[in-house]
Amino acid sequence: MTQPAVTVAYLGPAGTFTEAALIRFQGAGAFGAGEVEQLPVSSPREALDAVRVGRAQFACVAIENSVDGSVTSTFDALVEDGGVQIYHELEIEIAFSIMVRPGARLAEAKKFATHPVAHQQVRKWLAANIPGAQFVPASSNAAAAQAVAEGRADAAAAPDRAAVLFGLDVVEKGVADMAGARTRFVVVGPRGVPTPRTGSDQTTVVFTLPNEPGTLVGALTEFSLRGVSLSRIESRPTRREFGTYHFYADLVGHIDDAPVAEALRALWLRAEDISYLGSWPTPGRGGRDAALAADLARLERAAAWVAAAREGKEL
């Protein structure tokens, strides 16, 4: 029996880096073995909302880039309305093609379009090549290419594929002020059982704490005492009361790792509220597997010792 198509929402239109990530996720089997139907939308929040209301089974969204850091609009959308969870991630190296309408000259461009995040990654190139061009922000890089095709801008920075889709000429490739810039993308779906543990995983939680001295230090101590590393922690205003914050924390490890589970249990006791955003594989960001396996083996021996003591036995 043919499986029904899986709908995946992403920042469109076709030709964005997010679509490129979606295609790679599909090739890796992140959406299952069936057909994938793409649902282009105008923002990461709209992609996540499509999952929440059942228009899509999954969303593909960017969460971090190596130039500007976290994509805060995505994290805000993940937390504020809840009901979703991260299951997979991958990284894509980001470099842009500069494109114009067929026959147009880049030197004559008056309006330059791209996504605001992309603009930060090509500012030096713009200053050197079309310093007088007005920046026109677009909802996505592909939307910027579409604006050029429709005459609302004269040049755009976007992936190569966008030039093909919108019939534009590429005048320069591989443009990036920071060589090797990368963006992390994730697959988000409804709440469910986390992706199985691999030994090279990440767990992300968002929490708020009582607005009292020492509460953050106390919360972080729960991770330190159990040997759980944080690969990222940052704060965002809760928007409810001045001086109160959401803390976004990326933990090295999986919720099925005993130290991570124990640290999260202790954090729950300290937090005013806490949201679990998932545990998922992070291939290529490890080098920790052997050390983690050794730590977990010691924890298993320690648990066995406690169990034996409870039963009046000796190990």
From first to last of its 315 residues, the chain has per-residue pLDDT tens of 567 899 999 999 999 999 999 999 999 999 988 899 999 999 999 999 999 999 999 999 999 888 777 888 888 889 888 899 999 999 999 999 999 999 999 999 999 999 998 998 899 999 999 999 999 999 999 999 999 999 999 999 999 999 999 999 999 999 999 888 899 999 999 999 999 999 899 999 999 999 888 999 999 999 999 989 999 999 988 877 777 888 999 999 999 999 999 999 999 999 999 999 999 999 765 545 545 555 667 767 777 878 888 887 776
Give the end of a domain, one of 192, 218, 237. Answer: 192
Q: Are 159 and 17 in contact (CB under 8 A)?
A: yes
Q: For position 74, which CATH number holds?
A: 3.40.190.10
Q: For position 298, which CATH number holds?
A: 3.30.70.260
71 vs 140: CA distance, rounded Å: 13
Write down the residue that tokens 């990326």 correspond to: 250
One domain for residues 301 and 206: yes
One domain for residues 110 and 22: no
Give the end of a domain, one of 175, 202, 233. Answer: 175
One domain for residues 86 and 11: yes
One domain for residues 188 and 216: no
Tokens coding 257: 């790792």
One domain for residues 232 and 164: no
φ/ψ of 286, rounded to 5, equals -100, -120
Give the chain's domain count. Answer: 3
Could you please report the per-residue DSSP string of 201-250?
EEEEEEEE--SSTTHHHHHHHHHHHTT--EEEEEEEE-SSSTT-EEEEEE
pLDDT in tens, 131-156: 999 999 999 999 999 999 999 999 99
One domain for residues 69 and 185: yes
One domain for residues 56 and 2: yes
The separation between the first and the last C-alpha atoms of the chain, rounded to the nearest angstrom, is 54
Q: Which domain holds residue 32?
A: 1-93+181-192
One domain for residues 45 and 188: yes
For the full predicted model, state whether its pTM sits above 0.75: yes
Tokens coding 305: 């010792």
